[in-house]
Chains A and B, each alone.
Chain A
Amino acid sequence: MKKEKFNILTDSCIPIPLENIDTDQIVPARFLKATTREGFGDYLFRDWRFDKEGNKIESFVMNNPAYSGKILVAGKNFGCGSSREHAAWAIADYGFRVVVSSFFADIHKNNELNNFVLPVVVSEKFLKNLFESIANDPRTQVTVDLPNQTITNNVTGESEQFEINGYKKHCLMNGLDDIDFLLDNKDKIEAWEQRQTE
């Protein structure tokens, strides 16, 4: 896994204004048979991007050359359903660094963070306005500032603070993961185990 550090990103967006996008849509189960993490970008939204014969479905936003960018914008409750981390691998491998939604499912949100993709939770109003900005102009740019925990719609100037705990923020900004942390804390784990036997 690439532990790509995150700081500030300004880019255009790919919008999918649907609610409750589940991880079966992000990566269908038949593509979960790989034993490595690589190459999942090809399967991202596979059945929305391609028909059964493998032809591009032109009406789907990811196949429309007007839309591009490292920011995915989706309707509320993004990533519900299966815990498959393959969904986060697909999002990261396709090239996204940020997913913006008004609400994320818990497991998927953790999976994004563990793959150095930043989930940004915004208000319903911010999201609605952002979808509108992008509909009016696909080149709409958004700035995500992790150090200051702000997201800005650069068309309307609308800006919001977003939440992330200090620990995860530190990990993302410095390219550190949880296993690094846990291995540094082995003494505490053994002490906990010792207490159980007393």
Chain B
Amino acid sequence: MNTLFDKIWDAHIVQKVDDGPTQLYIDRLYCHEVTSPQAFDELRNRGIGCMRPEKIFCMPDHNIPTRNQDKPIEEPVSRHQVETLVKNAEDFNLSLFGMNHPKNGIIHVVGPELGLTLPGMTIVCGDSHTSTHGAMGAVAFGIGTSEVGMVMASQCILQQKPKNMRISINGTLGKGVTAKDVALYIMSRMTTGGATGYFVEYAGSAVRSMSMESRLTLCNLSIEMGARGGMVAPDEITFEYIKGREYAPKGEAWEKAVTYWRTLHSGDDAIFDKEYSFDAADIEPRITYGTNPGMGIGISEAVPTMESVDEAGRTSFKKSLEYMGFKAGEKLLGHPIEYVFLGSCTNGRIEDFRAFAQIVKGRHKADGVTAIIVPGSWSVLRQIEAEGIDKILEEAGFDLRQPGCSACLAMNEDKVPTGKYCVSTSNRNFEGRQGPGARTILASPFVAAAAAVTGRLTDPRDFL
């Protein structure tokens, strides 16, 4: 007890239901177009409105095309879903940052950058990567659509309290090793379900020295080992990031908020149900070889052998390798790839574009590689232009698109064709995630850039 998570959770308890879940008050509900329409209908069917509309923010991100956002969406079903969100936001009197709005982008990129996500908050969204917001020192987790309806109706959710886990990463990250590699490393050690039932606090010197963008990447991937959420205790880096953002507290309210936020850390006497500790020096740039994010290796390592997999998991392991077209025990360095995707709520922030540009600068996209380069928000795109990164990308043969979720889950037209390999900075390498039959290799922006200029899986440290 007395963990960072407990402090925020306990402060939001409305009541504990007898032999049941906790009724938790929610400070912020984010809605996108895919997981909200049925929740709005639920309210309509009951003849009720949103209890606290001022605490709800809507933005479409999953379906929207990454070109010509000033024009209506061509694909009728996607257009209908996005238009439904616009209508619902109007009908229920909610804030909306629609397609092509200067504040639009991927919810998990926009929330922190606008100062809508703040330390100490409880935040939910019908999206598993809501865990991202925990990087600001918030309790943030993904929920289903029925639960979205609950929060709209009552500003509360019924939830079993997860257990506490602390993962410490100590030491200094090596050259070319990013928060993405740290997350992929932790996942491969924990497996894809290893943190199910837990809320994770990331700690240790390597995390403390991470930028806000890196912490957002780290927390974003918590769900990929099953954790409900991940969080980092807020500190000067957090406060510096938030200060002056549009929705952040100002003046006297700012001073008061920071005083409170400074109390948001696990006590010296905090008890965690599970603790893990990793050494930053053990982590190299990483890639995945299989069809869940826990199936990862260091870029110089080989795919595990069949013998190293426990018996119950061998059928799934074999199916994964068949899907990916890889062999057990094979090294993947030098393996040809056809697609590269830079973007998503995992790696669609300014730091990710700086990293990608650092490698492609003065080089050129390899022939035969299709690159899908998508900023996480309009704000990120404006920063890319302000820093001249757009010019670097253009000279290297890369075409910068408009913001959205894009090829992370291929709900718009940005898809990877059947059988093609894509080095992707996104979060999931599930079968068909980037399009039916697509073969996804998850990696950092550095690894993606190195692959983009060579057309092969390449160690990015060769270019840094």
Contacts and interface: CB of A to CB of B under 8 A. Distances in A.
Interface of A: 1, 17-20, 22, 24-25, 28-30, 32-37, 47, 52, 75-77, 80-85, 88, 103-108, 110-111, 114-115, 124, 128, 165-168, 177-179, 181-183, 185-186, 188-189, 192-193
B145 interface: yes
A75 B193 contact: no
Given A33-B81, A77-B192, A81-B128, A186 B154 contact: yes
B370 interface: no
B14 A179 contact: no
B35 interface: yes
Contacts of B51: 186, 189
Interface of B: 14-15, 17-21, 23, 25, 34-35, 37-38, 41-42, 46, 48, 51, 62-63, 77-78, 80-81, 84, 126-128, 130, 142-147, 149-150, 153-156, 158-160, 162, 192-193, 196-197, 223-224, 226, 228, 292, 294, 312-313, 315-316, 319, 409-411, 418, 428, 430-433, 436-437
A106 B108 CA distance: 20
Given A107-B142, A110-B144, A167 B196 contact: no
Contacts of B127: 82-83
Given A36-B41, A192-B14, A85 B145 contact: yes
Given A20-B292, A76-B193, A30 B150 contact: no
A107 to B, nearest CB: 6
Contact of B144 (A88, A103, A179, A183): A88
Nearest to B52: A193
A85 B35 CA distance: 8
Given A33-B78, A167-B17, A83 B142 contact: yes
A30 B411 contact: yes
B428 A77 contact: no
Give the most central of A37, A104, A114, A178: most B CB within 10 Å: A178
Contact of B160 (A17, A18, A165): A165
Given A29-B411, A178-B146, 15 more contacts: A1-B42, A18-B316, A19-B312, A19-B313, A19-B315, A28-B436, A81-B224, A83-B127, A83-B130, A83-B143, A105-B196, A108-B144, A110-B147, A167-B20, A182-B153
B228 A106 contact: yes
B315 A17 contact: yes
B134 to A, nearest CB: 15
B25 A189 contact: yes
Contact of B128 (A77, A83, A186): A83
A24 B150 CA distance: 24
A53 B329 CA distance: 34
